[in-house]
Chains A and B, each alone.
Chain A
Amino acid sequence: MRKPALFLVAAVALGLSAAGLGQAGSSAPALTGACAKANLKLVKGGQLSLATDNLSFPPWFGGKERKGSGFAPSDPYSGQGYESAVAYEVAKRLGFARGEVMWIAVPFGKSFAPGKKAFDWYISQVSYKPVRAKAADFSKSYYFVNQAVVGLKGKPITKVKTVAGLGPFQLGVAIGTTSYDYIVDHIKSKPKVYDTNADAVAALKNGRIDGLVVDFPSTGYITGVQVPNSTVVGRLPTKGTRERFGMIFQKGNPLVSCVNKVLDRMWADGTLKRLEARWLAGSAPILK
C-alpha cells in the first residue's frame, strides 16, 4: 500500500510543480526597463485607460450590460469575450491589477483622429493596413481574421461555394470594415455600405441585401441572436497578406513595443490560441 501511496503523492507533487511552472510561465517574468510598470507613460498615471467602440458585442466582449457603464450590450470590464480577455491578459502581464484597468467608449471614427488620444490603446477589431499606420501606431496581431458571408436560410446565396459565385448577389457591409475592400477587390461587386453592423443586419433581415460580409467571429452573434433565420454561407479565403487585428496607439507611443513584447509571449506560450479557442470557437467552410 505504501508504495503506491507514495507514488501517488509524488505524482501529485510533480503535477503541482508542473502547474506551478505553468503559472510562472504565464505571469512572470515581469517586463523590465522601459516596460516596467513604473516607467510606462500612460494617459492617466497608475491606470490603464483602454478604449473600444460602443456597441461592444460578443464574441469580442461578453458579460451582461451594466447600467451606467456606457457600454452595451456587453461589458468590457467583464473580462469575457475575446478582446476583453486579451486586454486583461496583456494588462496583467504589464503589471496591472483588474481594478487598474478603465474602459472608455470611443467611436471607431475618432480612434485615429489627430491630436492627443484619451486612451492608452484602442481594441475594437481594427485591421492593420500600411496606410492606416501612417496616422496611428498598431500593435502586432492579436488575431488573424477571415471575413465571412451571412445569408438568409433557404435563399439562393446559401448555395454559393466559390468567391466568384458571390458576384451576382447584392452584398452589404458596415462602414470602416475591410470587408468592403475584400468585396471591391476580390468579388468585384459594389456592396451597400451601412453606418453600423446593426443597420447592415437590418438590411439583411428586410431583404435589401442578399449577403452580409463581416469578420467570421462576429457571424455567431448575427446567426445566433440578431437574425435567427440566417446562416453562414462560408468564410472568405485569405487573399494576399493575412488580415490581422491590431490595437491602436497614439503615433510614437513607446507603450506599443511593450505590448508587442507581451503579445509575442502570448503567442509563444499558447495563451492567445487558448483564448481564441475559448471565445471564438466555431467553424464554417472556406469558399473556393
Chain B
Amino acid sequence: MAIALASTALFFAVIVVVVVNSAGWPEVKQAFFNGEIFDESFPEIRSAFLINVKIFCIAEVVILFTALGLAVLRSLPGPVFFPIRLLAIVYADFFRGIPTILLIYILGFGIPALQLEGVPTDEMFWGTVALVLVYTAYVSEVYRAGIESVHPSQNAAARSLGLSHGQSLRYVVIPQAVRRVIPPLLNDFIGLQKDTALVALLGVIEAFRQSQIDVASTFNYTPYLATALMFLIITVPMTRFTDWLIARDRKRRQAAGVAA
C-alpha cells in the first residue's frame, strides 16, 4: 500500500514537473487553463448542457426498446423469418458503418429541405433521430451478444415446459441476457452522451457548440475544459451507480442461491 502510494505520487510529480517546466507551459496554461475565462464561460455552457441532457435522455429510453426489438428480430428462428433476420442484419451493418456526422447532415439538412407537409423540421428532432438510428444498431449488437450468451439449454428447458418462443425469450432468456450486458450497454450510452455534441452541426447551441463560440470569441481554449467537466459530472457518477447496481444484483442472486 505504502509502495503503491509512493510510486503513484512520484509518477504524477514527475509528470507535473516536466510539464510545468517546459518552454511552452506559460502559453499553454494561458490558452487551456485560464481561470478568468473559465468562470466567464462556465454558466453559459452549463445551461447549454441541458440540451445535451435532454437529447440523450430521450434517445437512451427510445434506444433501449428499439435495440432490444432489433436484437429479438435477428434471433427469430426458422427459415420463414429469414427476410426479417436479413433486414435486421442489413440495418445494423448500415447504421454502424456510416459516419454519424453524415447521417445527422442528411436528416437535419435534407429532410427539412424536402418541405413535406406535417413532417417536423426541428433540428433537435432530426439530430436525435439520427443518434437513435445509429445507436440502435450498436446497442442491438450488444443485446444480441447477451442473448446468444444464454445457454441454449435454458431455452430448451423453457420450451419443454410449454413456453412459446416469445414467452421463453421474455421470461427466461432476456432477463439473463440484459443482466450480462449492462456494462457494455453503459459503454454505448456514454458514447451516445458525447455524440450529442454532433447535433450542433445543425445549428443547435448545445454545450460543445457554446464552448466553440466562446473559444472563437476569446482565442482561448479553456471553455472546452468547462464542457469536458460537464460531461464528466454526468458520466462518472452514472458509471459508479451502474457498478453499484450490478454488484447489488449479483449479491442478491447469490444470496438466493441462483447462479446466472
Q: Could you tell me if B112 and A208 are in contact, using CB atoms closer than 8 angstroms?
A: yes
Complex: A194 Cα to B216 Cα, angstroms: 13
Q: A-facing mask of B95-107, CB < 8 A → 1, else 0? A: 0000000000000
Which residue from chain B places its CB closest to the CB of A112 in the assembled complex? Answer: B219
Identify which of A132, A172, A193, A208 contacts B213 (C-beta below 8 A): A193
Complex: A115 Cα to B203 Cα, angstroms: 31
Contacting pair A172 B203 (CB below 8 A): yes
Are A203 and B30 in touch, CB under 8 angstroms?
Answer: no
Interface flag for A135 (CB, 8 Å): yes
Task: Flag if B203 contacts A203 (CB, 8 Å).
Answer: yes
Confirm or deny: B121 has a beta carbon within 8 angstroms of a beta carbon on chain A: yes
Tell me whether B215 is interfacial, beta carbon within 8 Å: yes
What CA separation (Å) do A176 and B28 show in the bound complex? 21
Residues of A near B220 (CB, < 8 A) are 131, 134-135
By the criterion CB–CB under 8 Å, are B24 and A115 in contact? yes
For chain B, residues 191 to 222, give those with C-beta under 8 angstroms from any C-beta of chain A.
200-205, 209, 212-213, 215-220
Partner of B109, one of A134, A135, A203: A203
Measured in the bound complex, the distance between the Cα atoms of B223 and A176 in whole Å is: 14
Q: Name the B residues within 8 Å of A43 (CB-CB).
A: none
Taking chain B's interface residues, is the majority helix, strand, or loop, or is none over half, making it mixed? helix
Number of residue pairs spanning A and B whose beta carbons lie under 8 angstroms apart = 83
Contact digits for B41-82, partner A, Cβ 8 Å, 1 yes 0 no: 000000000000000000000000000000000000000000
Q: Are B28 and A180 in touch, CB under 8 angstroms? A: no
A279 to chain B, nearest CB (A): 25
Given A175-B209, A205-B113, A208-B203, are A135 and B24 also a contact pair (CB < 8 Å)?
Answer: no
A136 to B216, CA, bound (A): 12
Q: Does B160 make an interface contact (CB < 8 A)? A: no
Distance from A115 Cβ to chain B, minimum over Cβ atoms (Å): 6
Interface residues of A in 96-143 (CB under 8 A from B): 108-109, 112-115, 129, 131-132, 134-136
Residues of B within 8 A of A112 (CB): 219
A273 within 8 A of B: no
Total residues of chain A contacting the partner, CB 8 A: 33
From residue A111, how far is it (CB to closest CB) to chain B in Å? 9
Residue of A nearest to B31 (CB): A114
A129 to B218, CA, bound (A): 8
Q: Tell me whether A222 is interfacial, beta carbon within 8 Å.
A: no
With a cutoff of 8 Å between Cβ atoms, the chain A residues found around residue B203 in the complex are 172, 192-194, 199-200, 203, 208-209
Taking CB atoms, residues of chain A closer than 8 Å to B216 are 108-109, 175-177
Q: Is B21 an interface residue (CB 8 A)?
A: no
* B115 contacts chain A at the CB level, 8 A cutoff: yes
A206 x B113 contact (CB < 8 A): yes
Note all chain B residues with C-beta closer than 8 A to A132: 217-219
Cβ-based interface call for B27 (8 A): yes
Tell whether A285 is near chain B: CB-to-CB under 8 Å: no
Q: How far is the CA of A1 from the CA of B126 in the complex (A)?
A: 84
Given known A134-B30, A208-B112, contact A129–B217 (CB-CB < 8 A): yes
In the assembled complex, the CB of B131 is this many whole angstroms from the nearest CB of chain A, namely: 18
Instruction: Contact check, A192 vs B204: say whether CB atoms are below 8 A apart.
Output: yes
Q: Is the CB of B115 within 8 A of A207?
A: yes
A131 touching B218, Cβ below 8 Å: yes
Given contacts A175-B209, A208-B203, contact A131 B219 (CB under 8 A): yes
- Give the complex CA separation of A199 and B209 in angstroms: 14
Assess the B28–A114 pair: CB atoms within 8 A: yes
Judge whether A288 is part of the interface by a CB distance below 8 angstroms.
no
Contact of B24 among A114, A134, A136 (CB under 8 A): A114
- The interface residues of chain A lying within 8 Å CB-to-CB of B212 are 175-176, 193
B123 at the interface (CB under 8 A from A): yes
CB-defined contacts of B112 to chain A, threshold 8 Å: 206-208
User: Does A269 sit at the interface, judged by CB under 8 A?
Assistant: no
Docked-complex contact B217 and A114, CB < 8 angstroms? no
The 8 A CB mask of A199-216 against B (1 = contact, 0 = none) is 110110111110000000
- Top 7 nearest A-B pairs (CB, nearest first) are A192-B203, A176-B216, A135-B219, A206-B113, A112-B219, A114-B31, A132-B219
11 interchain pairs, CB-CB under 8 A: A114-B30, A114-B32, A129-B218, A135-B31, A175-B212, A192-B202, A194-B203, A199-B201, A199-B203, A203-B109, A209-B203
Other than the given A109-B215, A114-B32, 17 more pairs (CB < 8 A) read: A115-B27, A131-B218, A131-B220, A134-B220, A135-B30, A135-B218, A135-B219, A175-B209, A193-B200, A202-B109, A203-B109, A203-B203, A205-B113, A206-B109, A206-B112, A206-B113, A207-B121
